[in-house]
Amino acid sequence: MSVGSSKPALRVSGLRKAYQDVVAVNGLDLEVRAGECFGLLGPNGAGKTTTVEICEGLTAPDSGDVELLGMHWNSDAERLRQRLGIQLQDTQLSEKLTVFETLRLFRSFFDQGPGAAEAISLVQLEEKKNSRVGNLSGGQKQRLALACALVGDPDFLFLDEPTTGLDPQARRQLWELIEKFKSYGRTILLTTHYMDEAERLCERVAIMDNGKQIALGSPHELIASICAEHLVAFSAGSNSKKLDVSALRGIQGVRDVRSENGSVEMQVTELHLAVPALLAELSRQNIPLTELSTHSATLEDVFVSLTGRHLRDE
Amino acid sequence: MSETTTLPGVRAAERKAPPVKSFADHALVQLTLVRFRETLREPEALFWIFVFPILLAAGLGIAFRNRPADVLKIATTSPEIARSLAHEKLLSVQQLDSNAAEEALRTGKVALLAVPGSNGSVVYRYDDTNPEGRSARMLADRAEQQAAGRVDPVRTSDQLLREPGSRYIDFLIPGLLGMNLMGSAIWGMGFTVVDARRKKLLKRLIATPMPKQYFLLSYLLSRILMLVLEVGIVLGFGAWIFHVPVRGSLLDLAVVCLLGSLSFSALGLLLASRAKTIEAASGLMNAVMLPMWIASGVFFSAQRFPDIVQPLIKALPLTAAIDALRANMLQGANLANMAPQMGVLAAWLLVCFVLALKLFRWR
């Protein structure tokens, strides 16, 4: 491959794209290193898909520059297309064709790559080889879409929300396939609004909101950046008897407290100290606890801590 | 990282010289095959392309067939009259009592009632505004006079003329053929392109290295393959069941069909160049096709429209296609005779195609 380990596989600088009155991407800089799986995270409408489609050469940016595998869309489009694997958000492949016919068609566009039958076994669809696409389950369709992206033996793979709408089992199956592809040393740019997906698959993630990057790092670094290892969520109090939230901030090991319609979320570093202290404070205020749960901090909590919103709030 | 790239098949380091692909793995061949498969696997489309025109031809051919002159039913109350009328083959005589005979005449079961008058005369009772009644009157009177001994002064004989080529079915089959060329090209092009756009399949295809012109070419190639079947079935049916003639050269006929189909395909492509929903596309297609079904002389001659709109009607692609088909099949015209129609079709092809390429959106 012409891209050395020092040179990024994808470099995006100063990207801007506006549709009518909406600014979808607002001055974005990104670098994806060769051989890594890079996650682009954010809620719906954050500008992920627009960014990816600009990188894929499907949408022209208003301004900014995209350098992909050392090439540019305006001068090397044909050579670039041969080296990219692309999965778009909700493409519906022709339902009347079989899995094999579909892959044979996509394979015919590329100079080289695995044959249709080989691509089918890559995504473990052998027993569906001669089934019509219309008869496949959602997970099988997504695997076929992945196979269509792999038939050209791509150096760079774009996956736009590859597991949206799938059941947990189908999602895990697809993750395993993506991990297998990663192990071949290829570069992946993945968008998702599932934080667990990014944590599992990505070496580095960029969190996007309103067309801008608001955080960048490995999932581990990002989680560490909010200085809390655990999240404690509970419900207590009522309209007549309000909980005094400010008293909670003084508890040892509590980093931050957010309260929303009677449910409270605390970022905590030392769970074993914070929970007994919380219970003591509640009984001092004489407020009964109605719900309590704790979990280790995730990228979702990073997003909440950065924006004050949950990822899936539309 | 090249040493780690072991995806089955090839390594990234081998990207220099693409291996030579077999003919079947060429992108254009695959795209055309896919188009062909998609059409053949769509039962509704097959019905409209292959079965519907045959049903229509059969139905109309039977409804408007040239029947032998009908035998007219008449009644009489007298056995003598019944006997003398029995010689006329075009009359079927019933002998009834007077009440039943009156009833049969009044309800139209018989066209005429012959009753004995005074002094051996015969009285014909019938409705003179009814053509059947008037015919029955002439036939009955001729039979009655001949039975009484009249001899015609001039000897006459009949020669019957029911020649293929001048019947309604002969007029209809080229019309249906033209209508079928238009329908299958516009629907085949329009629906599939808009459907692929709606499903974002077009966008997915241009995200691959597929040469864009192959996509369009595959439509034209599969259209030509389908054309052979469509035209073959309608023509074969007409020739086999109704003995519809093809007097011109088959090669000329093929050229007319091909040019017609390409023109309609270009029109279909133009109609589908922007639409994002099936509803929008089918509205457009119907708005374009319906006037032509009516005005272009599929079922009746376009000459029936006023002279002032004739130039407009003649400029429609369906009129040109049908006129050329009729000229070839019924009058045996060659391509030179059909130059005006071919010119109209070629103009539509050129204008629609150029416009469609300018307007086409992949997403």
Residue range B316-323: mean pLDDT, rounded: 96
Please report the residues numbered 209 through 268 in chain A whose beta carbons come closer than 8 angstroms to any beta carbon of chain B: none
Q: Assign 3-class secondary structure to chain B.
A: CHHHCCCCCCCHHHCCCCCCCCHHHCHHHHHHHHHHHHHHCCHHHHHHHHHHHHHHHHHHHHHCCCCCCCCEEEEECCHHHHHHHCCCCCEEEEECCHHHHHHHHHCCCCCEEEEECHHHCEEEECCCCCHHHHHHHHHHHHHHHHHCCCCCCCCCCCCCCCCCCCCHHHHHHHHHHHHHHHHHHHHHHHHHHHHHHHCCHHHHHHCCCCCHHHHHHHHHHHHHHHHHHHHHHHHHHHHHHHCCCCCCCHHHHHHHHHHHHHHHHHHHHHHCCCCCCHHHHHHHHHHHHHHHHHHCCCCCCHHHCCHHHHHHHHCCHHHHHHHHHHHHHHHCCCCCCCHHHHHHHHHHHHHHHHHHHHHCCCC
Tokens of B155: 């000897």
Task: Please tell me the distance in Å from B42's CA to the nearest CA on chain A.
Answer: 8
> Which residues, in sequence order, are CB contacts of A124 under 8 Å at separation 6+?
A143, A173, A177
The pLDDT of residue B11 is: 45
Instruction: Report CB contact under 8 Å: A5, B1.
Output: yes
Instruction: Report CB contact under 8 Å: B5, A81.
Output: no
- pLDDT tens-place string over residues B220-231: 888 888 888 889
Measure the CA–CA gap between A53 and B200, rounded to whole angstroms: 13
The pLDDT of residue A4 is: 44
The pLDDT of residue A53 is: 93
A296 touches chain B (CB under 8 A): no
Report CA-CA distances (Å) from A253 to A128, A233, B184, B345.
Answer: 54, 15, 74, 83
Measure the CA–CA gap between B140 and B134, rounded to whole angstroms: 10
Instruction: Report CB contact under 8 Å: A86, B207.
Output: yes
A110 touches chain B (CB under 8 A): yes
Reported as a pLDDT band with limits 50, 70 and 90, residue B203 is very high
The pLDDT of residue B69 is: 60
Of A57, A112, A148, the CB nearest to B10: A112
Q: What percent of chain A has pLDDT over 70?
A: 96
Q: CB pairs below 8 Å between A and B: how many?
A: 114
The pLDDT of residue B7 is: 41
Residue range B226-254: mean pLDDT, rounded: 89
Of B1, B7, B14, the CB nearest to A34: B1
Beta bridge partners of A206: A40, A216
Reported as a pLDDT band with limits 50, 70 and 90, residue B2 is very low
Residue B168 burial (C-beta neighbours within 10 Å; 0-12, 13-18, 19+): middle
Reported as a pLDDT band with limits 50, 70 and 90, residue A6 is low
Tokens of B284: 């457009």
Nearest chain A residue to B195, by CA: A94
Instruction: Report CB contact under 8 Å: B37, A97.
Output: yes
Residue B106 burial (C-beta neighbours within 10 Å; 0-12, 13-18, 19+): exposed
Of A97, A101, A185, the CB nearest to B5: A185
Residue range A22-32: mean pLDDT, rounded: 91
The residue ranking higher by pLDDT, A285 or B262, is: B262
Reported as a pLDDT band with limits 50, 70 and 90, residue B19 is low
The pLDDT of residue B16 is: 53
The pLDDT of residue A181 is: 86
**Contacting residues of A for B209, CB less than 8 Å apart:** 78, 81-82, 109-111, 152
Instruction: Pick the most confident of A72-86, A264-278, B53-67, B140-154.
Output: A72-86
Instruction: Report CB contact under 8 Å: A86, B204.
Output: yes
> Which residues, in sequence order, are CB contacts of B19 under 8 Å at separation 6+?
A111, A112
Instruction: Report CB contact under 8 Å: B208, A109.
Output: yes
Reported as a pLDDT band with limits 50, 70 and 90, residue B3 is very low
**Contacting residues of B for A147, CB less than 8 Å apart:** none
Of A83, A105, A184, the CB nearest to B34: A105
Measure the CA–CA gap between B30 and B94, rounded to whole angstroms: 72
A118 touches chain B (CB under 8 A): yes
Residue A3 has pLDDT above 60, yes or no: no
- pLDDT tens-place string over residues A164-207: 888 888 889 889 989 988 888 889 999 988 888 888 999 999 99
Instruction: Report CB contact under 8 Å: A94, B200.
Output: no
The pLDDT of residue B67 is: 60
The pLDDT of residue A203 is: 92
Task: Please tell me the distance in Å from A279's CA to the nearest CA on chain B.
Answer: 54
- pLDDT tens-place string over residues A281-294: 888 888 888 888 88
Instruction: Report CB contact under 8 Å: A94, B210.
Output: no
Task: Please tell me the distance in Å from A92's CA to the nearest CA on chain B.
Answer: 5
**Contacting residues of B for A83, CB less than 8 Å apart:** 15
A115 touches chain B (CB under 8 A): yes
Residue range B170-176: mean pLDDT, rounded: 90
Among A71, A39, A37, A77, which residue's Cα sits nearest to residue A57? A77
Token match 């290829």: residue? A186
Interface test with A, best of B7, B21, B37, B214 (most A CBs within 10 A): B7
Interface test with B, best of A78, A103, A108 (most B CBs within 10 A): A108
> Which residues, in sequence order, are CB contacts of A311 under 8 Å at separation 6+?
A41, A42, A43, A193, A195, A300, A303, A304
Residue range B31-49: mean pLDDT, rounded: 87
The pLDDT of residue A275 is: 86
Of B5, B18, B33, the CB nearest to A112: B18
The pTM score is 0.76
The pLDDT of residue A182 is: 86
Nearest chain B residue to A79, by CA: B209
In which element (H, E) is residue A302 found? helix A299-307
**Contacting residues of A for B44, CB less than 8 Å apart:** none
Instruction: Report CB contact under 8 Å: B7, A107.
Output: no
- pLDDT tens-place string over residues B115-143: 888 888 889 999 888 888 888 899 888 88
- pLDDT tens-place string over residues A84-116: 999 998 788 999 999 999 999 999 999 988 989
The pLDDT of residue A136 is: 93
Residue A26 has pLDDT above 70, yes or no: yes
A33 touches chain B (CB under 8 A): no
Q: What percent of chain B has pLDDT over 90?
A: 39
The pLDDT of residue B66 is: 64
The residue ranking higher by pLDDT, B265 or A273, is: B265
Measure the CA–CA gap between B352 and B259, rounded to whole angstroms: 13
Measure the CA–CA gap between A9 and A186, rounded to whole angstroms: 10
**Contacting residues of B for A34, CB less than 8 Å apart:** 1
Instruction: Report CB contact under 8 Å: B8, A1.
Output: no
Average pLDDT, chain A: 87
Residue B159 has pLDDT above 80, yes or no: no
Task: Please tell me the distance in Å from A115's CA to the nearest CA on chain B.
Answer: 7
The residue ranking higher by pLDDT, A21 or B358, is: B358
Reported as a pLDDT band with limits 50, 70 and 90, residue A314 is very low
The pLDDT of residue A262 is: 74
Instruction: Report CB contact under 8 Å: A78, B209.
Output: yes
Cα dihedral: A190, A195, A197, A198 (round 10): 50
Measure the CA–CA gap between A33 and A11, rounded to whole angstroms: 9
In which element (H, E) is residue A307 found? helix A299-307
Tokens of A277: 């202290």
Reported as a pLDDT band with limits 50, 70 and 90, residue B13 is very low
Measure the CA–CA gap between B185 and B264, rounded to whole angstroms: 6
**Contacting residues of A for B197, CB less than 8 Å apart:** none
Reported as a pLDDT band with limits 50, 70 and 90, residue B8 is very low
Instruction: Report CB contact under 8 Å: B19, A112.
Output: yes
The pLDDT of residue B339 is: 94
The pLDDT of residue B10 is: 39
Among B40, B8, B219, which residue's Cα sits nearest to residue A184? B8
Measure the CA–CA gap between B244 and B255, rounded to whole angstroms: 20
| Ramachandran class of B82: left when φ > 0, alpha when ψ lies in -120 to 50, beta otherwise | alpha
